[in-house]
Structure 1
Amino acid sequence: FLPTASLWCLAARSKSVIPGEGGPGQGSPRSFRLMDKPLKAGWLKKQQRSLVKNWQQRYFVLRGSTLTYHKDDKETTVQGVIQLRFSKVNELPPNSDDPGKYLFEIIPRTTGDRERCPHVLMANSQSDMEEWVRSLRRVIGMPTSGVFGKSLMDIVTYEQRFGPHMVPILVQKCVEFIKEHGLDEEGIFRLPGQDNAVKQFRDAFDAGERPSFPSDTDVHTVASLLKLYLRELPEPVVSSISTSWINRRITAAL
């Protein structure tokens, strides 16, 4: 016998293929083709909702707040429709026992007391997965908790789901870039960076992205981003007592 949650999932899946109930009814392919240009499209693997978990490769198309999937990139047949409104999108941490899978899930809105059955999808690469997650979240308008203004413990604990991180990913990326490009730069951590670029990077990290800095990024911009992050920590990295002690030591050395 199937567990109750599984029965709900199978019932929901059966309902989703009934014409007029969010599935690929007659005329659906034509109506989708007549809509605007897709916000994003590409191949993903979709986990089948069955007792034996297997994967099927499908062509996914994102238009508005609707995600459809098809057998081919011609969109000749709509095999399923995922309504994204009020849904949630989560990256899934890598499995050390089964590496090389870039997974994320779409959790639909709850209906009554029914168990929410996530759609688990697999991308071809880390960057492809991040791009899909970013696009879906923008459509949904999902609020994110961000990283600025959050405690170090909360951020590190969350990010350890995606790998063994001892410091926040933002700090790691900033330090690595500054170490590579800024050690010989005059006025590092003193001269300001480009305000617009700092804001763009901040918004990206706060949206749950993990952007890389292009090699031609102004090193003062990255330094300003790091300073902004440290300045907005709820607990200072260096206490006022330690700061006073450091200042006294520097003064004595001079």
Structure 2
Amino acid sequence: MMVQNASDLLIKPLENFRKEQIGFTKERKKKFEKDGEKFYSMLDRHLHLSSKKKESQLQEADLQVDKERHNFFESSLEYVYQIQEVQESKKFSIVEPVLAFLHSLFTYNNLTVELTQDFLPYKQQLQLSLQNTRNHFSSTREELEDLKKRMKEAPLTCKLPGQPTIEGYLYTQEKWALGISWVKYYCQYEKEAKTLRMTPIDQKPGAKQGTLDLTLKSCVRRKTDSIDKRFCFDIETNERSGTITLQALSEANRRLWMEAMDGKEPIYHSPITKQEEMELNEVGFKFVRKCINAVETKGITTEGVYRTVGSNIQVQKLLNAFFDPKCPGDVDLQSGDWDIKTITSSLKFYLRNLSEPVMTYKLHKELVLAAKSENLDYRLGAIHALVYKLPDKNREMLELLIQHLVNVCEHSRENLMSPSNMGVIFGPTLMRAQEDTVAAMMNIKFQNIVVEILIEHFGKIYSGPPEDPTAPPVPPPRVAARRHKPITISKRPLRERPVFFGASVEESAGDCDGVPKPRSHGDKPVITRPPVRPPDPPCRAPVPPKLEQRPDLIAGTAEEMPSSVVASRTKFFETASRRTGRSSSPQGRIPVDES
């Protein structure tokens, strides 16, 4: 009976607990590992899809990833739930068989009553503890079920104390000498300290790269059309110069990372939107002077100054900060926060986006016409006079800019910026056309010439206004080229436009004495265009005798004649054509050889 009780009350219950509870937990673990491997392999394939693929393919891939993520999520929750159940149930599932065995042992053993009485208090206390433990297990199980339900409805909303604000896998764009690669990291971000810890995954043997601890400065979502990958965002850190491009696992995951990092959306529009900020006001002059001082102080010898373009994001930051309505102009351009490319690009952006260019739409046409002149003295004098027709603010701003460009060109050996280069850069900026037409595009080179002349002759132009600024110098007379009048086919009556049949156009266009001037080439008439000459006294070439005998055929056009006369006239010209061997027309066309 003792052996049987040991088997029934102790060994079998423990074996059942191991097979049912622990065995079931191991199966849950295998399912969890299998679903996790399947999910992460599909996630890797999904992240390497190009954003250039069709939207239907991308949506199908997203649905597959979401399905596998849901399965992995379910499997992980079931596995954690099963582990918790085993941990709690073993507290009574193991102790109860031992207690039952001991109870049977003391019952069926020939022990004394004193021993039984000594064991009774401990047994009662143990039974009470077991009942309390069972009750605690039931309440804990209900809490776990409620937590499981809440996690299914809103994942990643519960943050444990002492843990990072957000953590997970991110891909980082690494630039190498031979191209770009994407490296997988496990990242942990603490919002209060703004610290980002990046641990590389699948690190190659022998690699020296370890865990990176970075301090976050800013976070901006990456524009969709600016990169081939999806779900990307850029961060700036104190430890690394430039931006670091990161790729999240999905759009929802990127949104969570950006929310934790206080990320911002990229700027799509112009940072200056108010009309008063687009004028030549006090803030605008202050901005231009600060930009000029910064360039002449620390960047006038930089190669390609004003030709190289700065970062659009940095330009927008500078303009937003300088033209902030709360504190306009409160930006120090001499500090190390702004490089020369950003300052020069911001200056060009401001001048290019004025509501009216510095050299005004009103004088645009006159300046272009002056630049088109081939006479250099007239071109300089005309531009000199037109500069002093500008409004006072525009002329002051133009003088400020041209003086600066002169200073830049004086260092052309270092910065490789000549007056012609400056004209190409600032021509369309300072005197852009009011409308974007083909003619305006053709005039861009003349805009460049105007700026080049202002730079080369700055001393003369700004030494003082011309003697009579209201009247630009008269352009020199141009010798008109001899042009030939084009031959046109007129529909006038033949009487008004007589020609010889059987002769070329030159022969019929002779002098008034009726003597033709033949100018043929072989047997074929040569048709040329007579030069332009002063009109001669009215004269008429003689009409052929056969035409004089038939006034009804040359009295008017075909539209003015009756049908019988038109038929006679047509027959007459066909007969004349057969006799002369040339093609004739009743409408008075010029006879030409059809061969």
TM class by smaller structure: 0.3 to 0.5
TM-score by length of 2: 0.15
Larger radius of gyration: 2
Higher relative contact order at CA 8 Å, sep ≥6: structure 1 or structure 2?
1
